[in-house]
A and B are shown apart, each in its own frame.
Chain A
Amino acid sequence: RKEVEQDPGPFNVPEGATVAFNCTYSNSASQSFFWYRQDCRKEPKLLMSVYSSGNEDGRFTAQLNRASQYISLLIRDSKLSDSATYLCVVLSTGNQFYFGTGTSLTVIP
């Protein structure tokens, strides 16, 4: 079983739409959780960390459900510039990172 699993998509949504991505992880003792964004095989960049209480950064909201071992990312009012691949990342026990395969988002004018 993979450590981190994501729906690869693609998600094609119109501008202004709300879109949600989910990610599940297998190790219940995992320590930290993140969403990264990757544009067209460039380097990944941190979008936001995910906290147990949930956190929001502008149009982006991240949630963590430890009981069900899933992480979510909600994007409101999608912009063309949001088109990218979104990577779910988990810091497992020890100091090792596990990445999901990514979810592809295309925002259509």
Chain B
Amino acid sequence: EAQVTQNPRYLITVTGKKLTVTCSQNMNHEYMSWYRQDPGLGLRQIYYSMNVEVTDKGDVPEGYKVSRKEKRNFPLILESPSPNQTSLYFCASSSEPRPTDTQYFGPGTRLTVL
């Protein structure tokens, strides 16, 4: 089954404790992306990647890191989480390097930073 998976689905952590949210897709997609969704602000793009070893900042990259060492994986790293990073996070992928095609989203990760 074609899908985007994220782990963990739910996470409660404390300020300053480094964490990684994993994202994996099995569709051989070139383009991958991370978003956060907050009430009243909609989805905002954090980082995206056009291909292996190619990553670019989105709208709200501060406080986040990503890596793309393999085509299928695109982890999101919070080196020192803060309460304002409490949010719902989505990973997405699409087939084209220029993403004019459908984006497939993972199920989301609910993160709470205390």
Interface residues of A (CB under 8 A from B): 31-32, 41-46, 49, 87, 91, 94-102
Query: B99 — which chain A residues lie within 8 A by C-beta?
Result: 32, 91, 95, 97
Contact B31 A102 (CB under 8 A): no
Q: Is B48 an interface residue (CB 8 A)?
A: yes
Q: Is B105 in contact with A102, judged by CB distance below 8 angstroms?
A: no
Q: Is the CB of A41 within 8 A of B88?
A: yes
Q: Is the CB of B108 within 8 A of A42?
A: yes
Distance A45 CA – B3 CA, assembled complex (angstroms): 12
Measured in the bound complex, the distance between the Cα atoms of B44 and A102 in whole Å is 12
Check A41 against B56 for contact (C-beta < 8 Å): no
Interface core residue of A46, A91, A97, A98 (most chain B CB under 10 Å): A97
Contact partners of B106 in chain A: CB under 8 A:
43
Within 8 A of A (CB), among B17-61: 31, 33, 35, 37, 40-45, 48, 50, 56, 58-59
> By the criterion CB–CB under 8 Å, are B42 and A44 in contact?
no
User: Is B105 within 8 A of A43, CB to CB?
Assistant: yes
How many chain B residues have a CB neighbour from A under 8 Å? 27
Chain B residues engaging chain A, CB cutoff 8 angstroms: 31, 33, 35, 37, 40-45, 48, 50, 56, 58-59, 88, 90, 97-100, 102-103, 105-108
- Main secondary structure on chain A at its contact with chain B? loop
From B42, B56, B105, A95 is in contact (CB under 8 Å) with B56
Pair B105/A97 contact, Cβ less than 8 Å: no
Give A78 Cβ to nearest chain B Cβ, in Å.
23
A32 contacts B90, C-beta separation under 8 Å: no
Q: Using Cβ atoms and an 8 Å threshold, which residues of chain B touch A41?
A: 37, 88, 108
Are the C-beta atoms of B58 and A96 separated by less than 8 Å? yes
Known: A32-B100, A43-B90, A44-B90. A99 touches B43 (CB 8 A): yes
B42 and A43 form a contact (CB under 8 A): no
If A43-B107, A46-B103, A97-B103 touch, does A102 touch B50 (CB 8 Å cutoff)? no
